[in-house]
Amino acid sequence: MKTLVPAVAVWGKTAPSHSITAVMITDDQQTIVTGSQEGQICLWDLSSDLQISSKEILFGHTASVTCLAKARE
**Where does the chain have alpha helices with state H?**
none
Q: Which amino acid is at 34?
A: T
- For the segment 59-66, the average pLDDT, to the nearest whole number, is 89
CB atoms within 10 A of CB 45: 13
> Does position 52 have pLDDT exceeding 80, yes or no?
yes
> Does position 57 have pLDDT exceeding 90, yes or no?
no
pTM above 0.85, yes or no: no
Contacts of 60 (CB under 8 A, 6+ apart): 39
pLDDT tier for residue 31 given thresholds of 50, 70 and 90: very high
**3-state SS class at 67:** coil
